[in-house]
Amino acid sequence: MAGKSMQEVAEWDELKTFFDRRLIKAIGHPVREHILAVLNERTASAREISRELGADVSSFYHHMEELENLECIERVRTRQKRGANEHFFKARSTLLFDETRWHALPPSVKADVAVSSLQYLFDDVVNALEKGTLDARDDRHVSWTPAEFDSQGWEEARDLLNRTLEQLGAIQEAAALRLAKGEERGLLATTAMLAFETGDGAEQSGAIGRARRREQKPRRASAQ
């Protein structure tokens, strides 16, 4: 009995996967990945993205159409500009994992996701420093909170961050709907949360070390 062809295997409904296969196809090309990343950050038109890429819209618009067909992005408004329609899009799919999917990922994939997230964060911080936008707003928030937890405290802190992330997503979605009306210019910003075990060695890094951790006070530089 002949075995299945690779085409048949690839189309098999019971193949295991860590990601939505539409998302896998969406990010299977670097330009589509860039477009999806941009539209996860803000609402934008193909013309605006073309300026970032330094390429004519016609050279990559088929990737926009592919993302739309995969239901990863959607049109939110259209405006007339120089006799042509300019369509604005926002992302429908995000690169976020719920707790169940995250636990199902193999360690190698988790490590890659963590490193990529940190790299994006560092890039945003460096870019903000270079452009002078890190301190441009008096209401910006920068905090660092070293702490010592017991098992219950760690779970409570983790759950708080997870709830905060969900609320941030809801806030961002509501803001995107308001911005889609075109009545206000969007504010590009980065929000980030980190919670990880630092280990005993971290207590020796700096003069205040262990005493600083016992104070349990967040170090914060932001307007109230």
Q: Where are the domains of the chain?
A: 6-91, 99-220
Q: Which CATH architecture has domain 6-91?
A: Orthogonal Bundle (1.10)
Query: How sure is the predictor about 219, in pLDDT bands with cuts at 50, 70 and 90?
Result: low
Measured on CA atoms in the order 190, 195, 197, 199, is the torsion positive or negative? positive
Phi and psi (nearest 5°) for 143?
Answer: -140, 155
Q: Residue holding tokens 């928030």?
A: 141
Query: How sure is the predictor about 157, in pLDDT bands with cuts at 50, 70 and 90?
Result: very high
Mean pLDDT, range 73-98, rounded to an integer: 77
The pLDDT score that the predictor gives to residue 154 is 93
Mean pLDDT, range 23-44, rounded to an integer: 82
The pLDDT score that the predictor gives to residue 208 is 43
Measured on CA atoms in the order 224, 188, 39, 23, is the torsion positive or negative? negative
CA 184 to each of CA 50, 77, 175, 180: distance values in angstroms, whole numbers, following the listed order: 22, 14, 10, 9
pLDDT exceeds 50 at position 5: yes
Span of 49-63, 77-91, 107-121, 155-169 with lowest mean pLDDT: 107-121
Cα dihedral 206, 207, 209, 212 in deg (nearest 10): -110
Mean pLDDT, range 179-206, rounded to an integer: 76
Among residues of the chain, what percentage have pLDDT more than 70? Answer: 72
Instruction: Share the mean pLDDT of the chain.
Output: 78
Span of 55-59, 84-88, 123-127 with lowest mean pLDDT: 84-88
For the sheet with 73-81, list strands across it: 44-45, 84-91, 73-81
